[in-house]
Amino acid sequence: MKVIVHSSISLDGSLLGFAVDMAAHYKIAAGFKAGIHLVGSTTAAEGLRMLHRKLPREQEKDLVKPKANAKLPLWVIPDTSGKLKGKLHMLRRSRLCRDIVILTTNVTPKGYLRYLTERNYDWHYMGTRPLDYANVLELLAQEYGARRILTDAGSTLNGILLNRGLVDELSLLVHPMVVGDPRAPLLGDVQPGIKLKLSKSRSVAGKLWLLYHVLKPGGRK
Ligand SMILES: NC(=O)c1ccc[n+]([C@@H]2O[C@H](COP(=O)([O-])OP(=O)(O)OC[C@H]3O[C@@H](n4cnc5c(N)ncnc54)[C@H](OP(=O)(O)O)[C@@H]3O)[C@@H](O)[C@H]2O)c1
């Protein structure tokens, strides 16, 4: 299995504070042909807030699991506190994913589990919080045949995965912008000394795309 962290950053390594070239970002993302996208709950909630000032109401048809479309990725979202309760129908409707899977733990509110069950979303209980992403990858391989997983997340989830030795590739679209804001660094709380090997570099629509292999001497592989 391969895990790829894909992010757009400013020249000074910020995830926020500049206009991401969404077309280039998602074109590169699609090129990885990952069957599963691991999406941060904050990223998903913020994406919805940006797209809909007022969230359209849920309808009867939103409760039905969509017909499987193997061409679309499955979005897997760790959302232990139920941040996305009442909002998932808009992700399901987006037609950007084949459906949504939620990861829960012992702290997940019962009302959220009911909400998920009544709407036919797959959800998986991952034990006590904090979630162990090595177990998550194993589950995704067993249940969904995951072979390639792409992250769509901020510094929190990306940092956790990197620290756990679970990331194989780091894909960065570097935008020609100096944000000068250290509040949203590419990776949060990472261990020092993570070694990378540059495997590709290319100019994409006036930005620089860099692909690194993460070298893991004592890691997963
Ligand atoms: N520039 C880019 O390419 C790019 C890409 C994606 C996102 N972003 C931006 O990044 C920001 C969001 O980033 P973020 O770092 O705040 O959040 P995030 O990575 O989107 O979400 C955090 C995720 O980590 C999980 N988590 C948190 N603490 C954990 C722990 N101790 N153990 C295991 N799992 C844990 C959370 O699950 P729970 O909900 O269960 O806590 C959640 O799913 C947004 O502003 C978004 O726009 C930028």
Give me the pLDDT at residue 221, please.
46
Protein residue with least CA distance to atom 25, ligand 1: 157
The pTM for the full model equals 0.95
Give me the pLDDT at residue 72, please.
93
- With tokens 């949504």, the residue in question is 100
Q: 210 alpha carbon to ligand 1 midpoint, in Å?
A: 22
Q: What is the pLDDT of residues 35-67, one digit of tens each?
A: 999 999 999 999 999 999 899 999 999 999 998
> Do 162 and 196 share a domain, yes or no?
yes
CA separation for the pair 10, 1 (Å, rounded): 29
CA separation for the pair 189, 162 (Å, rounded): 10
> Do 77 and 110 share a domain, yes or no?
yes
Share of the chain above pLDDT 70, in %: 98
- With tokens 């194989």, the residue in question is 168
Protein residue with least CA distance to atom 19, ligand 1: 154
Of 119, 144, 169, the last residue of a domain is: 144
Using a 10 angstrom Cβ sphere, with 0-12 exposed, 13-18 middle and 19 or more buried, the burial of residue 142 is exposed
Protein residue with least CA distance to atom 6, ligand 1: 153
Using a 10 angstrom Cβ sphere, with 0-12 exposed, 13-18 middle and 19 or more buried, the burial of residue 145 is exposed
Q: 41 alpha carbon to ligand 1 midpoint, in Å?
A: 6
CA separation for the pair 46, 41 (Å, rounded): 8
> Do 98 and 171 share a domain, yes or no?
no
Of 93, 117, 144, the last residue of a domain is: 144
> The domain that contains 221 carries what CATH number?
3.40.430.10
Q: Which residues of the chain have pLDDT under 70?
A: 217-221
Give me the pLDDT at residue 58, please.
95
Backbone angles phi, psi at 91, to 5 degrees: -75, -40
Give me the pLDDT at residue 218, please.
54
The answer to whether the CB of 42 falls within 8 A of the CB of 81 is no
Q: Mutation test of ligand 1: which of 105, 157, 164, 207 has the most ligand atoms closer than 8 Å to its C-beta?
A: 157
Give me the pLDDT at residue 217, please.
65
Ligand 1 atom with the shortest distance to the CA of 105: 40
- How many folded domains does the chain comprise? 2
Cα angle for residues 44, 189, 174 (degrees, 5° grid) = 65
Tell whether omega for the bond before 192 is within 30 degrees of 0, i.e. cis: no
Protein residue with least CA distance to atom 11, ligand 1: 154
> Do 118 and 181 share a domain, yes or no?
no
> Do 81 and 167 share a domain, yes or no?
no
Structural domain boundaries enclosing 201: 1-35+147-221
> Do 19 and 44 share a domain, yes or no?
no
Interacting residues of 52 by C-beta distance below 8 A, sequence separation 6+: 90
Of 93, 118, 144, the last residue of a domain is: 144
CA separation for the pair 190, 214 (Å, rounded): 13
> Do 68 and 115 share a domain, yes or no?
yes
> Do 190 and 95 share a domain, yes or no?
no
> Do 118 and 185 share a domain, yes or no?
no
Tell whether omega for the bond before 130 is within 30 degrees of 0, i.e. cis: yes
> Do 63 and 156 share a domain, yes or no?
no
> Do 83 and 133 share a domain, yes or no?
yes
